[in-house]
Chain A
Amino acid sequence: QVQLVESGGGSVKPGGFLRLSCAASKFIFSDYYMSWIRQAPGKGLEWVSYISSSGSAISYTDSLKGRVTISRDNAKNLLYLEMNSLRAEDTAVYYCARGSRYCSGGTCDPNFYFDFWGQGTLVTVSS
């Protein structure tokens, strides 16, 4: 069964930096696009960032552009999210999620939903 395990969360002061990691296993990591999605305490889900299977295409939610960087290491089956200039409103559980794809006739295309999620890592920004 697909496994996604996030790490790197913790408590940090406003203005600080964190790097989150997501270890993927039980599937061919380099075949799938990935995303980070966060959820503030008691609030809804918020998509944060996308990275293509090769890492060549990246996108971010407008509210976080310039403060977060997504990357991946396909050789190590790892997904990363670097966050800087952290603010109290960045306090949330951060999930990594695998992007689904549909394969037919030897070709695969994304079908734009998230079929597997990690259990999340909590980031708390507080002075």
Chain B
Amino acid sequence: QSALTQPPSASGSPGQSVTISCTGSSSDVGGYNYVSWYQQHPGKAPKVMVYEVNKRPAGVPDRFSGSKSGNTASLTVSGLQAEDEADYYCSSYAGSNNFVFGSGTKVTVL
């Protein structure tokens, strides 16, 4: 149950795109299409932005998109806006009702 690996930080100017990677193993990311991504602003609870690799909940802008290849999932935020500045965490189902989160990535809008 090791944490999924994410880059500590990512940044981009307003209007640009930023992509965050999330690397696991065949026991979690690679083994299931149940990767989700959460946005967390300081002092707030996390909010799901993407689920089942590439699906967006109602109300989440289509600027947020997800993908997966092998043991690595990715979240892309296009058309960066100031309010996108936050911490982002990936999560994956790991079988037998177990879950694992990523180490987190701080996204800065320059």
- Residue numbers of A with Cβ under 8 A of B are 33, 35, 37, 44-47, 50, 52, 57-59, 61-63, 95, 100, 111-115, 117-120
Chain A residues within 8 Å of B103, by CB: 44
Pick from A57, A114, A118: contact of B36, CB under 8 Å: A114
| Contact count band on B | 20 to 34
- Residue numbers of B with Cβ under 8 A of A are 1, 3, 32, 34, 36, 38, 40, 45-48, 51-52, 57, 89, 91, 93, 96-104
B24 to chain A, nearest CB (A): 13
Judge whether A45 and B34 touch: CB under 8 Å.
no
Judge whether B48 and A46 touch: CB under 8 Å.
no
C-alpha gap A52/B96 in the complex (Å):
11
B25 to chain A, nearest CB (A): 15
Pick from B32, B48, B102: contact of A114, CB under 8 Å: B48
